[in-house]
């Protein structure tokens, strides 16, 4: 299994602007991953990879940045001072966890969990957090609910695990804590409730992409 040598993650993490979308984990890598040989269920302790984070089975979250190699390979590096990294090998669709850092020490392979969602939709629009605990993806059809303040269940937590962080350079602030950006998501919905039931991947887009779409409603500030 041949991996291509990538630029130093230490240099990358010190120079890349915080959460810039060009450092996002590609959509084809996002999803649930588990240690090779374990089941993709609660006992298998799956890890969720989103565009901007890793969410572990115990609820811990690491913010990450992706550095692309060649041939589809790449490295997911942690934004914290932890040297651990995850190397993606496109040839066999595998993640290699390296606790001692890129190209160093022991390697622990991880495999992808197959998603069970049957009907997937690609929707793009405003990713909005306009009040405490309330999140939506607003497109031409609806303000799709990602989370409401009163929600407290595993299904909603799984949805929010896949929601990317806002890009600070492509974000409209509406006060100290709230605002909106632009994003695309591949997801399953309940159209009767305007609710997002699951997200398999997401991609942050420039504000200009949503601003130029005449089908999108304006966000009321």
Using one digit for the tens of pLDDT, what is the confidence trace for 78-117?
Answer: 988 788 999 999 999 999 999 988 777 889 999 999 877 6
Maximum alpha-carbon separation in the chain: 52
Contacts of 132 (CB under 8 A, 6+ apart): 149, 177
Residue 217 or 18, more confident? 217
pLDDT at residue 12, rounded to an integer: 32
Structure confidence by residue, pLDDT tens digits, 24-76: 999 999 999 999 999 887 666 899 999 999 999 888 999 999 999 989 999 99
pLDDT at residue 45, rounded to an integer: 80
32-46, 126-140, 145-159 — which one is most confidently predicted on average?
126-140
Collapsed DSSP state (helix, strand, coil) of residue 157: helix
Domain ranges in the chain are 9-112, 121-211
Q: In this structure, what DSSP letter does residue 51 have?
A: S
The model carries a pTM of: 0.86
Q: Where are the beta strands (DSSP E) in 69-216?
A: 74-78, 85-89, 94-98, 108-112, 121-131, 134-138, 143-147, 172-173, 179-190, 195-205
């Amino acid at each position: 299994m041949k991996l291509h040598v990538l630029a130093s993650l230490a240099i990358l993490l010190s120079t890349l602007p915080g959460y810039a979308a060009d450092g996002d984990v590609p959509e084809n890598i996002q999803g649930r991953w588990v240690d090779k040989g374990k089941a993709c269920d609660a006992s298998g302790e799956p890890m969720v990879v989103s565009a901007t984070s890793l969410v572990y089975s115990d609820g811990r979250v690491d913010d990450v940045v992706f550095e692309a190699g060649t041939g589809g390979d790449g490295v997911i590096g942690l934004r914290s001072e932890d040297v651990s990294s995850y190397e993606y090998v496109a040839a066999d669709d595998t993640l290699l966890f390296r606790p001692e850092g890129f190209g160093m020490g022991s390697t622990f392979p991880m495999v992808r969990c197959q998603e069970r969602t049957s009907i997937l939709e690609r929707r793009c629009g405003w990713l909005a957090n306009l009040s405490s605990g309330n999140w939506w993806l607003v497109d031409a059809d609806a303000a799709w609910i990602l989370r409401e303040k009163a929600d407290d269940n595993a299904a909603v937590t799984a949805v929010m695990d896949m929601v990317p962080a806002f890009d600070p350079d492509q974000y409209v602030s509406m006060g100290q804590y709230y605002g909106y950006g632009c994003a695309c998501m591949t997801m399953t919905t309940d159209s009767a409730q305007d609710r997002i039931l699951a997200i398999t991947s997401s991609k942050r887009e420039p504000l200009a992409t949503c601003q130029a779409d005449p089908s999108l409603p304006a966000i009321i500030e």
